[in-house]
Structures are given as C-alpha cells and as structure tokens.
Amino acid sequence: MSSQAPKRVPGDHPLARTYALLDPDLAPFAASALCGTVEIAEIEALVELLLNPQMSASACSAALRSLEHDCSPFVSDVVVKALGNQHPTVRILAAGEVIRRGLFESAAERLEQLFRTDPFWQVRRAAVNALAAAPGSFRWQIILAATDPHWRVRYALAQILMTWGNDERERERILDSLHETSQLGCVVRLRNYLNYRWMGQFPPERPSENPADWCSFWDWDPAVLARNLERLGRTGRRESLSVLPRLVNHVDERVRRWVIQSLRDDGEPSHWAEALSRLGDPREDTVPTQADLVRGLELDRVEAVARYILARDLPEAALEWALRQVNEAFPAEEVQTDLDRLAKALENHSPRVQAAFARIRGEACREKAEVYTAEHPYTRAADLSLERARELIHTPTLETSWFVLGRAARMCRVPIWKLAPEKEWKPVPEPREPRQSLLLPTISLVQPRQLGVGGPVVSPLGLSGHYGLPIEGFVRAAEQGVNLFFWEPNYATLSRFVTGLNTTDRRQIHILAGTFEADPTKIRKDVERAIRNLKLDRLSIFLIFWTQSWQRITPDVCEVFERLKAEGKVQVYGLSTHNRLLAAEAIREGWNPVMVRHSAAHRKAETEVFPLARERGTSIITFNNTCYGRLLDPGEGNALGFRPSDCYRFTLNTSGVSACFTAPSTIEFLEENLDALRNPELPDDVRERLICRGEWMYREDTVFRKTVRAEG
C-alpha cells in the first residue's frame, strides 16, 4: 500500500470526463461527447479505448468518429491499428479513414492482410476499396482479391479494374496480372467479365455441375435437402459418408449441421480429411471453420485424422490443419518420416503451411511487436517506476491517461476507484416522449383486389418492413390506402407498428408472412410464432418462402396448411419462388396466391406464368420490381431517368399481376413509391424506355451471373 493516501480527481478536471470511458456501458456516450476535442487527456483516452480489446463496437466506432478532426501522427497511428480491431464494423470504418487521411503507406500491409484473411466479406471489400485508392504500386496488390470466395468482393474488384482499364495501356497489365494470380475458375471468369465489358466478348459457355450426379438425395431447395438428410437416419447418413463431406460448406446451416453430426457419429479419417480440406479458407464467412468442425472431438480421433492427412498428398487446407496438431495431439517424432517427405517440397507450399512447419521446428515467427512513441500512454505505463506510481496515486492530475494511472494503482495495490472523480460523469438524458397508441383512420383502398380464393381484399401496393422503415411510415402508408404488409421476424419497426395498434385497427391490416421450412411441425411453429408475436387473430397470407423444388410441397406439408386454415390461423396460403416452371406447376396444382419475380429486366413470367394465372384465376404477387434499385441507375435506356414508382406501375399494369411489394427505408422513399397508388397509369413512352433499359440489364446480368457471380 502507498504511504500516501490516494487522492480523487477533481470533478472539473479532464480526467473526470475520460474516466467514464472506462465503463463499457457509458463508453459509447462518453466517446461521442468528446467529438472534436483538442484536450490531450481526452484524445489519449479515445486512443486507449480504441486499443482496448474489451470495448464494444459502438464505443470504438464513436471514438474513431470523435477523432476525425485530429490529423496528428498519434491519432493516425491508432487509425491504422484500428484495421485490426476486434469488431468488423470498426475495421470497415477504419478503412474509410485510411482513404480520407491518405495513410496508404503505413496501412498497406494491414489492408492486404484484411482482404487475404478477414472472415467478413464486407471488411474485405472495404480493404480492397481502400488499397485501390492508394497511389503508385501499392494499389496493384488488390489483384489478389480475384480469388475471394464472395462474389461481392470480386465485383468490387471488377468495378475498380474497369475504371483503371479506361486507359487502354493498363488493360493488358490488368489481364496479365490476373493470369499470373491464379488459374482458379473465379479468376478466369473475372478476366472473361472484363473482356466483355471492354471489348464486348461474350464469355464461353461452361458446363455447370449438377450435384444430383453424385448425391442421390440432393435437392436445390435447402429446406428439402436438410429434410432429406434428417429422414436418411443415422444408418442412411453413415452409408452416404462418401459424399457428405462435399456438403460441409453448403450455404444452409441446417444442411451443414447434419453433415457435421454425421462426421462426429461415424466419420472415418478419410471423411474428416476431405471435410477439413474444404474449410481452409479463412475468408469463407458462411461456413464452419476447421476449429468449429473438430471442437470437442476426442483427442485420439484428432490424432488419427492428422496422421492420415500427413501420410498422404492432400489439399493444403487439410495439411495445414494436420501440421498444427503435431506436438499438440502427438509428438513430431512419431510422424518424422512423413514430415521429412513433406519438407522436401516445402517451397511449393503456401506461406501458411510453411509457417506450420516452422512452428514444429520451434522457428515460429512471432507477431511483430507494436511500436509506440516515448510520449504514448502505453510507453509511459511500461516505463513507470514505483516512485512515480506513488506520486501519481497521491496527485493523479500529474498524469493525463487513465491507462497510466491504472498501472500506477496496480503497482501500489490501490483500487482504481479510489482515484475516481469526485463527481461521476453521466450523459445528458434525452427527453423521451411517452409512447402513444397508434390510431389509424378507416383505410380507403385504391383499386382493391382479392388475394386467393376467400383471401383478403388488399391494396395493390404492399409494404415490406425489410429496411426498417420508421413506424410513422407504416402509419402514413395506411393513411394513403395501404393495408398489406410483408413481415419477417427480424422486421423490428413493422413489428412495433402492428403490436402498437389497438385490436380494431389491427383488424384493418393484412399481414403476409412465411416459412423457410419444409417440415410440417416447424411450419406450424412459424405460423403460431408470427401470430403470437404480432398479437393477431390470424395471418391473412402465409407463404412457403424461396421454394426451389417441388419436393418441398409434400402431402404432409399440404395437410398442415389445410389444418391451419381450418383452425382459423391462416386465411390463405401459397408459395413464393424465382423458378417460373415451379410457379406454373403450383398454379396448375391450385396454389393461390403465388409470388414471383417480375420487373422490366425479368419479364419471362409474362409469357410463362401470368397467362396461366389469368386462366386459372390465380392471384399473382410480384417482388424485386426495381431490381434492388439497379433499374434506376444511369445506363443504357435510362438517359432520362426512371422513378421507383415507375417500376411499381410497370408491374401493376401488367396483365395477371394482382399486387406487388415495396420496401422503402425512409419516409421520403415511401412517399415516392406511394405515387404508384395515387397515379397508377404508366405513360407509354416511359413503359417503352423501361423495357429498353430492362433488356439491356438482362443481357448484362446474364454475363454477370456466368462470370463474377458464379461460384466454384
């Protein structure tokens, strides 16, 4: 204990404000309150917050924003270090700051590491964009992103390279660089895409793999595939272990869960080795990692799998994992013959495999130590003497950093709270208006139409809560005649709107909800959960979402829907699909309503689905009418520009369409889209221009799907 009594920080001292940054609950508010500060104690505190791995994403983001004005080397250094922050949102924000501040030289290595290894595609895309903005040779490192497993990162790269290729002298360099990077399919297809955009060369046709050729229980619908795996039973899955590892990186978690369970139940080393070889890319953010796959596995099974891999010429992802088990699961001496054989070709292996070998030899490279200036709080804390620590405990205002004071308190065995400010900092409370019950007028429908036999009478334009439209937006839509709303469980503002209505007003609106399941019990749970969460008597429309296979529509699924309808929990039921042939089959089988994609760029439903719907009296709901806004972008056929409401008018004026959905994020966007209700007619010249724009987009999208968007 210090011989001198600790002294509290005065309430008006800067340390009194920065002390709040030590509290995880207060840190986001305190960091925001320090925006634009020039006080050294506050700047240091914000930097320390960013370097603290225990702080939340909101606190780190607030600290980074509060330092935007400060261009000192001290702050610039922490911006670069924030590229390694524990939170992906902060890494993305830091990448933007690197561009704004021009910190390319100091950040280049970290940015390259991000787009090589970060598990979040959003972070990798931000890193590619940041490095692309660098001057000189730094920017060419982004070519390595051509092998990225996520198409959005490859598309970001393609957009950058197309811009660089405006200079024809750079085109050859770009194409040569891609050729040297890799001959992986994704890289070849990226070159094909660039050749198309620059020279109009259409990509060659490539045969697509049909998993049904090697998987007898395959189905394109993930819900059906997961159900098939469940119905195989343990015996059937054990007999299918020769193909199950190929599904370990399937996009659907339900499928992956059955694969992993089957490996744990009955997998042999060969099955584990193949699964591990498919999970070696740290950039695969939608699949389990190798560590997830083997977590909790018995040590003797880990050893057996690792030995199996080391004894064979297997993909590097599996080899790297097996090398990491050496001297952990078993001693190196027991596999020395295999290690010697593998080491002979070590130069042909990836840096990660070489690093695993180095670790076995005791040569593992340590991470580069962070370097801090003499003035940095971390340096002052490291150099703190006991005498100085005692001095700070007695007079804490001699220091500007709580990190240093914390070190001094530990050295003197004094609780840090004994130095705490005399007056605790608290955020200024924001006045809260009491939540009032939402009141709707009697909804007056414009051009009402019925969805399904005995179904609800609704407005032709429905409103989705996908993008978090504020609650007052849903109220405004109802005032303008909208009574149809598209809901999923994560649509928070729509949920609050519906549950905030009184019982009478709630009965004025109609909710369309749905399920991604193929099991009758799970479908019933989804229906009952939606009714309970929204405080409804029943769901007006319930759809089987994202139907990709008719195998999803089994007799027991139809039976549960009929029971739900008889119980009064569902008014009408139907399905949604991108597959036009499946939509047509559903219409023939009596499903009503049916939901399909339709826009000026995707018009084949006009000949393959809508005529049949008119003939059978089936209600058609359309979605994706603006192609996620791309129909509105500048481009061929859009010189004069289109309004979003034009796209909704386009589909609602197409014969056979009953209703469509819009998903605005703001009230301003909502008002524009509602114009399709107020002024439903689409001028002929606008329709023709939309069709022209859509045909151009369809050609572009076809090439895009075959090249950048294609997987594998």
- CB within 8 A of 482, min separation 6: which ones? 443, 459, 461, 462, 463, 674, 677
The pLDDT score that the predictor gives to residue 180 is 72
- CB within 8 A of 507, min separation 6: which ones? 537
CA distances from 625 to 78, 183, 631, 685 (A): 44, 37, 9, 18
The pLDDT score that the predictor gives to residue 637 is 62
The pLDDT score that the predictor gives to residue 2 is 47
473, 484 Cβ separation under 8 angstroms: no
564, 524 Cβ separation under 8 angstroms: yes
- CB within 8 A of 479, min separation 6: which ones? 440, 441
CA atoms of 656 and 580, how far apart (whole Å): 14
The pLDDT score that the predictor gives to residue 712 is 65
Q: Is 227 exposed, middle or buried (0-12, 13-18, 19+ CB in 10 A)?
A: buried
The pLDDT score that the predictor gives to residue 636 is 65
* Cis amide bond preceding 593, omega within 30: yes
279, 246 Cβ separation under 8 angstroms: no
| pTM of the shown model | 0.86
CA atoms of 553 and 221, how far apart (whole Å): 11
First to last CA, the chain: 64
For 306, phi then psi, to 5°, come to -60, -45
Q: Is 473 exposed, middle or buried (0-12, 13-18, 19+ CB in 10 A)?
A: buried
The pLDDT score that the predictor gives to residue 651 is 96
Q: Compute mean pLDDT per 10 residues along the chain, 712 residues long, and list them.
A: 72 90 93 94 96 96 96 95 96 97 94 93 96 88 91 94 89 86 82 91 84 95 96 97 95 94 96 94 82 91 95 91 92 92 84 84 62 87 94 93 95 92 79 71 92 96 96 95 96 95 94 95 96 96 95 94 97 96 96 96 96 97 90 71 91 96 95 94 93 91 89 71
42, 34 Cβ separation under 8 angstroms: yes
SS3 category, 484: strand
The pLDDT score that the predictor gives to residue 292 is 87
> 5-17 burial string, b = 16+ CB within 10 Å, else e?
ebeebeeebbbbb
CA atoms of 492 and 470, how far apart (whole Å): 10
Which residue is it, tokens 């804490």? 396
Closest alpha carbon to 191 in 204, 201, 207, 178: 178
Beta strand pairing call for 620-623 and 594-597: parallel
Give the total residue count for the chain: 712
The pLDDT tens digits of the residues spanning 577-609 come to 999 999 999 999 999 999 999 999 999 999 999
The pLDDT score that the predictor gives to residue 1 is 46
The encoded tokens of residue 628 equal 């996620």
The pLDDT score that the predictor gives to residue 282 is 85
The encoded tokens of residue 586 equal 């559903």
CA atoms of 93 and 79, how far apart (whole Å): 9
CA distances from 279 to 143, 222, 309, 709, 712 (A): 23, 20, 14, 21, 14
The pLDDT tens digits of the residues spanning 274-284 come to 999 999 888 88
CA atoms of 298 and 277, how far apart (whole Å): 20
The pLDDT score that the predictor gives to residue 424 is 80
- CB within 8 A of 366, min separation 6: which ones? none
- What are the residues facing 659 on neighbouring strands? 621
| Residue 5 C-alpha from the chain's centroid | 53
The pLDDT score that the predictor gives to residue 363 is 60
The encoded tokens of residue 607 equal 């000949």
381, 372 Cβ separation under 8 angstroms: no
Helices (H), 415-548: 471-479, 492-499, 503-506, 520-534
